Amino acid sequence: MRRFDTVLFDLDGTLLDTLEDICGAANHTLRELGYPERTLAEMRRFVGNGAEMQMRRALGADADEETVAKALALYKPYYAAHCQIKTKPYAGVLELMAALKAEGFRLAVVSNKPDATTKTLAARFFPGLPAFGQRDDVPPKPSPDLVFRALDTLGVAAADAVYVGDSEVDVATARNAGLPLAAVSWGFRGRQALAEAGAAVIVDTAAELLEVLR
């Protein structure tokens, strides 16, 4: 992979292990609505396409639109208030980000997590890192719109950027935005799912990712 000026990162499953806090907030919401709780393994499959799709999957196919709306109204503020309990960076990620910054890369987060929570977590773990999360006026990934918004804000051409993610959604996002992808196997999906989705570059450690991006 040739040298790029800018690296755009997915957040959940790529930089941060957020699954337990997501699952906790989802199960709080399900309990409040009288639905059965979901396991970590189930939630791992449900995440990736934003909060609305996540909660639709958690509720099940029989949930009507009113129930979905109630679920989102409960989930979003609860998760925002409880998103930093067990969430932590993956092994080597802090060192990776420090090395990339020291070498002059421009870095940013582009996530399907709600925008406010994306910014909260980025500010805590990666101070100063620009962060772009899902908003009502921007369609979620795999639409390329969030990527384009990030590039426009940074003043970067798509030809100078690479996308890093851990899921099929990220593979499709990079493809739709016309960006090369470096996929990480340590996140929510794993190497096989990424390969089946068409990821050509898959790395297993943060150190390996650094070498690929250099």
In this structure, the strands spanning 6-9 and 106-114 are parallel
Token pair of 140, please? Answer: 């979620």
Can you say whether residue 156 is alpha, beta or left, with left for phi > 0 and alpha for psi between -120 and 50 degrees?
A: beta
Q: What are phi and psi of 7, to 5 degrees?
A: -120, 120
Instruction: Note the maximum CA span of the chain.
Output: 52
**Would you name the residues annotated as active-site residues?**
10
Residue-wise DSSP of 138-188: BPPTTSSHHHHHHHHHHT--GGGEEEEESSHHHHHHHHHHT--EEEETTSS
- Please tell me the distance from the alpha carbon of residue 161 to that of residue 201, in angstroms, as a whole number: 15
